[in-house]
Structure 1
């Protein structure tokens, strides 16, 4: 007898298939992979564009299933991630399952392990690790090889879902044919550090050494970041471990230290670290200067913050989203509205996608200062840059 879960899934698929029949008329030229010459790319782009803007979850799932019968559509990875995330966000794991389980009927695709890895990864992005695990177990039956590549995809799915118990269990029940590599251990260490279990993370490092798997820069940077947050008094052992293993630190290594120094109000020491990086390497990046920028702002040193911002280009860096989100609220609060407005426009021109609440703060400050027309113009430009009426509006 059909269980309740599979009965619900069956009914959903039947409903989606019914809706997909109408959609298939639109997608048939792509699905057959034999459209009129010169129009196939345009038709495929049109279908993908419609999926991108479809907000009804049932219609999205139905149209997706109809379009997926085209091999060329199945090669477009981004629309898969966007659609799965959207369905998961609106609380429709049943629709995610219907879409991805439908893909298991494309047996020829599973001759390449990468197709199975995609399904596992998509289940992870949807926060459905149990489905990711089931897909991993099914790979041999679907005609797909199962190697450390798909195993790492499964570990990532558990990590993305925050299921540390499942991740640990997957590590304990590794198929005999698979040997974990440094990526496998880095995923586990990253999940343990995210949880703040540094003792378990260091035991995993010992396990890597036991299994003759070399540490790499990713391992060490993950540990540095977590130790500076949770156990800064013991972080020196990570730097020592890097020296012993001849692992050269990069800007991310030092950025972890810079963020900690700034958080402790020791901006002058952070400045010294950056000066040392400029002299001896590694080369500072945008995140390096963002850490300093935050330190100067926390210290109320507007002039140093201005100088640093205008020196980004001089230092071969470009401001990013974080730069503007550090700077804009401070400028609004301190009455530096002219510069705050320039930063809003600069962020949009650079496609940095500053989050709407930061821009709303500038709009509100302009209105409060009786600069209503400037506020209206800013909102108008934001609309043209895809900020919705709901996220950004006049007070």
Structure 2
């Protein structure tokens, strides 16, 4: 068993290191002949993700359609559910639908998979029609996972009134809302300017004895920042410890963006420092906020340091953002630093970072 485990690990590493995507597809199909390989969902997901990122959708179809030759795997629901899920995640809904329709046996698990494929493929109208017809057609009763998938899709579509109706329907059908239910709704409501509705949903969560986690609080922080209630957001972060929760990158990011929005660069700097000291890594959104704010305030010392940090962490931010720093440094007679940013962009193998000094330099 140990040698077999090492063999699969070697195969996984081989696929991971293969840079030629055409060869990756060929190797994947060859390795699919190994029964144990076909049980490794993670390998399937990472390979499909790589191909989708490169927009090689025909090759995704090639490797997944290749799986249909394997019996008895293709007769098992779990194997087909994986194919439905993979097609959905890369936006190939018609393929997902075809696999679903051809499945010899379908349970609620299959229904949830095709509904998730609708959401991932942004087929929201199809989502609602399938939700109405499939449970009755297949004689299955929706569970809370089904409703959570529906809620996610409706939130993405902006159908917030329908979301509230589904929340009531969950309970009427004898089911219990869970943390996924509330976090999905809170994230959508608070982020889309529906702060009061978010607060009502928060109160319902507490009433139903569903304990908020850090994602719940981060959603509320976004809502507070959007309402320009940054001081209340800071107070809430200070209370996290009493709930046995620790701030994460999204927590700090909400406060940083809030202070940048208010034009308070010093407080933004302070919380950026808290973020770094916590061991978390700034993400693309955070770098975007602080670099833009630093440039607006003319703090090119910090903007320059942030640019170096971007390249050090290999964070793929918008090239226009960094070009703005270069231009600002030149206007501030900081040509040496501007040239260093340009050099870092060219030496970091980021094709987006085609930075240039102004033509008169």
Q: Same fold (TM over 0.5)?
A: yes
Structure 1 residue 355: Cα displacement: 4.1
The aligned counterpart of 2:121 is 161
The aligned counterpart of 2:290 is 327
Deviations 1:275-294 (A, max 9, x none): 23344554332212211111
Task: Return 229-238 or 328-337, whichever deviates more.
Answer: 229-238
Structure 1 residue 135: Cα displacement: 0.5
Query: Which of 303, 327, 336 is matched with 1:364 structurally?
Result: 327
1:227 paired with 2:194, answer: no
Query: Which of 300, 316, 328 is matched with 2:263 structurally?
Result: 300
Alignment of 1:4-83 (within 5 A): 45-46=13-14, 49-50=17-18, 52-54=19-21, 59=22, 63=26, 66-67=29-30, 69-71=32-34, 75=40, 76-83=43-50
TM-score (norm 1): 0.75
1:339 paired with 2:296, answer: no
SS at match of 1:107: coil
1:195 paired with 2:157, answer: yes
The aligned counterpart of 1:309 is 272
Deviations 1:188-222 (A, max 9, x none): 00111111212211221222112222101111122
Deviations 1:37-91 (A, max 9, x none): x9997687556544x444xxxx57973675455437654224432344146x36x
The alignment of Structure 1 onto Structure 2 pairs a total of residues equal to 345
**Is the contact made by 2:193 and 2:226 (CA closer than 8 Å) also made in structure 1?**
no
SS at match of 2:138: coil
The 1:44/1:218 distance shift into structure 2, 3 A limit, reads: closer
Task: Provide the C-alpha distance between the structure 2 equivalents of 1:86 and 1:149, rounded to a whole number of angstroms.
Answer: 27
Task: Provide the C-alpha distance between the structure 1 equivalents of 2:216 and 2:265, rounded to a whole number of angstroms.
Answer: 27
The aligned counterpart of 1:10 is none
1:349 paired with 2:349, answer: no
Task: Provide the C-alpha distance between the structure 1 equivalents of 2:25 and 2:280, rounded to a whole number of angstroms.
Answer: 45
Task: Provide the C-alpha distance between the structure 2 equivalents of 1:66 and 1:234, rounded to a whole number of angstroms.
Answer: 49
**Is the contact made by 2:303 and 2:325 (CA closer than 8 Å) also made in structure 1?**
yes
Query: Which of 67, 87, 97 is matched with 1:123 structurally?
Result: 87
Structure 1 residue 356: Cα displacement: 3.6
Deviations 1:5-53 (A, max 9, x none): xxxxxxxxxxxxxxxxxxxxxxxxxxxxxxxxx9997687556544x44
1:260 paired with 2:215, answer: no
TM-score (norm 2): 0.82
Structure 1 residue 100: Cα displacement: 2.4
Task: Return 38-47 or 355-364, whichever deviates more.
Answer: 38-47
Structure 1 residue 327: Cα displacement: 0.8
Task: Provide the C-alpha distance between the structure 2 equivalents of 1:370 and 1:41, rounded to a whole number of angstroms.
Answer: 54
Structure 1 residue 242: Cα displacement: 0.9
1:245 paired with 2:212, answer: no
Task: Provide the C-alpha distance between the structure 2 equivalents of 1:43 and 1:226, rounded to a whole number of angstroms.
Answer: 40
The aligned counterpart of 1:171 is 131
SS at match of 2:239: helix
Task: Provide the C-alpha distance between the structure 2 equivalents of 1:41 and 1:248, rounded to a whole number of angstroms.
Answer: 39
Deviations 1:157-204 (A, max 9, x none): 100111112112222213536443222211100111111212211221
RMSD: 3.1
SS at match of 2:126: helix
